[in-house]
Chain A
Amino acid sequence: MAGNKGRGRAAYTFNIEAVGFSRGEKLPDVALKPPPLFPDTDYKPVPLKTGEGEDYMLALKQELRETVKRMPYFIEPPEEKQDIERYSKRYMKVYKEEWVPDWRRLPREMMPRKKYKKAGPKAKKVNDTGKDTSLTNTVDVLEKIEELEKRGDGEKSDEENEEKEGTKEKSKEGDDDEEDDAAEQEEYDEEEQEEENDYINSYFEDGDDFGADSDDNMDEATY
C-alpha cells in the first residue's frame, strides 16, 4: 500500500484499534486447521427437566421404538446368508401381523401383480404364450436382462403369499419356494406386457363389486 511506507504494520484500511487491538499488539495467528471436533465449552449445560410427564414420555418413546420394529410397516432388508446358522435365530424371529393396504387409496401401479396365481395351470399357459410373443416382439433386450437380474434378488419377500385365514401360515417354508417361482414367472410376463401396451391387464374395473374383489386380493398380496 502506498500510504504504508515501511512502518512495519500490516496494511489495513481501517483503524486497528477500533476492533480491540492496542498499538503494537500482535495479531492472533491465522487458523490453518479446522476447529476441534469436541471443543471445550465455557459453560456446562443445565440439567434436563425431570418430572412425571418427562419420565412418562421417556418410557413412551423407548417403548415406541421397540413397537415399531414389530409393526408390519418395518421392512427389514433381505438377510445376507450366514455361513453358520444360529440356532437361537429361529426363536428370535418376530412374527408380525400382516398388513393389507387399501388398494383403492393407492395408485394402481402399487399393486403387486400376482392376480393369476390362483387361476391354476390353464391361465398360466395362456400367459406363457403371451410371453413368447412378447419375447419375439420386444426389441428392448436390455429390459429383459434387467428383469432377469431382478428375479435373482427381488422376490425374497415371502409375506406376499399369506394363506387365507393364516392356516398354512408359518408352515409353508418348504412349498413356498415352488409357489414363489411360479408366481414370479407370471409376474414377469405381465411386466413384459406392460412394457408394450402400457396398461396392466390384471386390472379389473372398480365398480360396485370391487369390495368383494379386494377381499380376494388379500390372500395374495399382503404386506
Chain B
Amino acid sequence: MTQAEIKLCSLLLQEHFGEIVEKIGVHLIRTGSQPLRVIAHDTRTPLDQVKKALCVLIQHNLVIYQVHKRGMVEYEAQCSRVLRMLRYPRYIYTAKTLYSDTGELIVEELLLNGKMTMSALVKKVADRLTETMEDGKTMDYGEVSSTFVRLADTHFVQRCPLVPATENSDPGPPPPAPTLVISEKDMYLVPKLNLIGKGKRRRSSEDDAIGEPKAKRLKHTTDNKEPIPDDGIYWQANLDRFHQHFRDQAIVSAVANRMDQTSSEIMRTMLRMSEVTTPSGAPFTQPLSSNEIFRSLPVGYNISKQVLDQYLTLLADDPLEFVAKSGDSGGGMYVINLHKVLGSLATATLESVVQERFGSRCARIFRLVLQKKHLEQKQVEDFAMIPAKEAKDMLYKMLSENFILLQEIPKTPDHAPSRTFYLYTVNILSAARMLLHRCYKSIANLIERRQFETKENKRLLEKSQRVEAIIASMQATGAEEAQLQEIEEMITAPERQQLETLKRNVNKLDASEIQVDETIFLLESYIESTVKRQ
C-alpha cells in the first residue's frame, strides 16, 4: 500500500461514509489486521462508534474479519476493494447498457447497500421505478426479479458467503464470530421466491417535503411481519465480472481500431462465447473452432464461412498476436491470448502518455527502446535520427521520470564508467506500476481540488439551493411569473456567473476522475495478469 493509495482510500471513505468510518478504515489499512479494542484505543474513538464504523465497513465488503486461536476477532481492510468505489458510476452505467433501467437500479442499490437480500432488493427497485413512472402505472415485482435472474445468470451479481446453519446440540459457548462459507455451485443460484406485488408509490408529493420524516413510508415495509423467504441469503455485485466485461469491450474496440468493424465483431463473438467458460483471470480463452464461431455470429451478420476463415487467419497472423491458432481440428481452433492483449493495451497507454507528456519525438525514442529492448546511448541517437544533443536531453528526461531504465554492464569488476556499457531499456511492468501510482495520486489531487472548490463556494451554493427550493414551492402553489422573477433575482448576475464557473470546474474534475480510472483499470488488469504468470 503506497501513501498515494492510502490517501485516495481516505478521501473515498470520507466521501462515502463520513469521517468516523474514514478514520477507522484508514487506521486498518495502515496497520493491517487488528482486534476491536486495539482499534478503539489507537484511534481514540469511543467503542460504540468503532463498532458502528466496522459494521458499515463489513456491510460494504470493505473489511473482513477472522477469528484467531484465542478467540480474538481481528478486522482487516480490503484496500483494493476500497479503491473500487471510484468505479461505481461505471458499473452502474454498464448495467444500464446491458439490462436497461431495471438493471441499473439493481446494481446501484447493491453498490449503495453493500449487500442485500433478493426480496428486499426487488421491492426497493420496484418502488423506485414506480416513482419515476407516470401516475397510475406501477412496476411489477416479477419483472424486476426476472432482470435480477438474468444478472445472476450472467454472473454480474453473486451470493455473499453464507452463515452456515448451526446445530442446536453445539456444546460449549458459541464462537465469537460466525465463519462464513461459500459454496461454489450455489454462487449464482437464485432462490425460488414467490414475489408478487407491485412497487409502491410514496403517497403524494407532499410527503416529499423537507422536514417530513421518512419513517412513515418505512412503516408499511417494516409492518408486515411475515417471515422473509430468502432470509440470510445476501447478494453483492460481482466486480470481477464487470471488469471482465470492461476488458472485453476494450479488446473489441482495440481490434476495431487496428483492423476493421467485421474483425471486431468476430472478436466480440469469440469473447461472448468464452464469457462463462473462461475464468476471469485466465491468460487464454478456451479454444474455439471456426465452425462454432460461425454458428455463433450474430444473426443478420452476413459473412460467409470463407470470409470468416480469412479474417481469423488475418487475426492470427497479426504481429500483436491477439488471436492464436491452437489446432487444426474443427476447421481450425482459435484462442484469444488475453495476457498478450492486456500487455498491448498497457504498452499503448504508456506510449500515448509519453507522447502527450514529452512530445512525439520523445515517443519515438521510447518506442525505439521498447522495440529494440536494450540500446546504448549512441545507438539511440543514431536510430531515432534525432540530433545527439536533443536525443540525450530527451532520454535523460524520460530516465528521470522513470519511463526508461538504465542498466549498467561493467566490463571490469571495478565498475569504472569508462569501461562500462550503459544500456537503456523499458520495463513495461515497472513503468506501468509507476504510472498507476501517478494515477492514484492524480485522482486524489482531483478529489481534493473538487472539495476545495466546493468549500470555497459553500455559501453561494447554499444560497442557490435555498432560492431553488423557494421557487419550486412557489411554483407548486401557483405563484405569478413576476413573483418568481423577483425571487430569481435574489441571485445576482456575478453570483450566477460564479456558480456557472464552479459547475463547469466541478464537472471537469469529476469527468477527469472517471477517465483516469479507466487508465487505472487497464494498468491494474495488466499488472494483475502479469504478476499471476510469473
> A residues touching B (Cβ–Cβ < 8 Å)?
13-15, 18-20, 41-43, 45-46, 48-49, 53-54, 56-58, 60-62, 64-65, 67-68, 71, 73-77, 90-91, 93, 95-98, 101-102, 104-110, 112, 150, 153-155, 157, 165-166, 169-170, 199, 203, 205-208, 211, 215, 223
Contact = CB atoms under 8 A, between A and B. Distances in A.
B21 interface: yes
Interface string B194-216: 00000000000000001111111
B246 interface: no
Interface in B23-63: 36, 46-49, 51-56, 58-60
B433 interface: no
Contacts of A62: 506, 510
Contacts of B55: 101, 106, 110, 223
Nearest to A153: B46
Interface stretch (B10-18, B263-271, B308-316): B10-18
Contacts of A67: 112
B46 A199 contact: no
Interface of B: 15-21, 36, 46-49, 51-56, 58-60, 65, 67, 73, 88-90, 92-93, 96-97, 108, 112-114, 163, 166, 168, 173-174, 176-178, 180, 210-216, 218-219, 222-223, 225, 227, 231-232, 234, 356-359, 377, 388-389, 392-393, 396, 416-418, 506-508, 510-515
B14 to A, nearest CB: 10
B418 A109 contact: no
Q: Secondary structure at chain B's binding surface: helix, strand, loop or mixed?
A: helix
A14 B389 CA distance: 18
A58 to B, nearest CB: 5
Contacts of A53: 93, 97
A108 B51 CA distance: 11
12 contacts: A19-B396, A41-B357, A49-B515, A57-B90, A73-B21, A73-B114, A95-B213, A112-B48, A154-B47, A169-B213, A199-B173, A208-B168
A166 B36 CA distance: 31
A147 B341 CA distance: 59
Given A19-B392, A165-B219, A166-B215, A58 B514 contact: yes
Contacts of A199: 173
B52 A223 contact: yes
B529 to A, nearest CB: 25
A46 to B, nearest CB: 6
B216 A43 contact: no
Given A60-B92, A61-B89, 17 more contacts: A43-B357, A53-B93, A57-B89, A62-B506, A64-B112, A67-B112, A73-B21, A73-B56, A75-B21, A76-B18, A77-B20, A105-B58, A105-B178, A108-B177, A150-B47, A166-B216, A169-B215
Given A19-B392, A101-B55, A43 B73 contact: no
A163 to B, nearest CB: 9
B257 to A, nearest CB: 14
Contacts of A20: 388-389, 392-393
Nearest to A98: B218
| Most chain A beta-carbon neighbours within 10 Å: one of B213, B223, B359 | B213
| Most chain B beta-carbon neighbours within 10 Å: one of A67, A71, A203 | A71
Contacts of B96: 56
Nearest first, the 7 closest Cβ-Cβ pairs linking A and B are A107-B177, A14-B417, A166-B215, A154-B46, A20-B392, A60-B89, A61-B89
Contacts of B219: 165-166
A106 B180 CA distance: 10
A161 to B, nearest CB: 13
A74 B506 CA distance: 22
B400 to A, nearest CB: 11
Contacts of B46: 150, 153-154
Contacts of B180: 105
A95 B65 CA distance: 31
A48 B213 contact: no
B418 A13 contact: yes
Contacts of B231: 211
B218 A166 contact: yes
Contacts of B215: 95, 166, 169-170
Contacts of B222: 165-166
Contact of A68 (B15, B19, B210, B234): B15
Contacts of B508: 48
Given A75-B17, A101-B59, A42 B358 contact: yes
A33 B88 CA distance: 41
Nearest to B58: A106
B514 A207 contact: no
Contacts of B108: 64
Contacts of B114: 73
Contacts of B49: 75, 154, 157
Contact of A57 (B93, B214, B358): B93
| Most chain B beta-carbon neighbours within 10 Å: one of A60, A71, A165, A215 | A60
Contacts of B514: 54, 57-58, 61
A105 B88 CA distance: 25
A68 B92 CA distance: 15
B48 A155 contact: yes
A68 B21 CA distance: 13
Contacts of B92: 60, 64
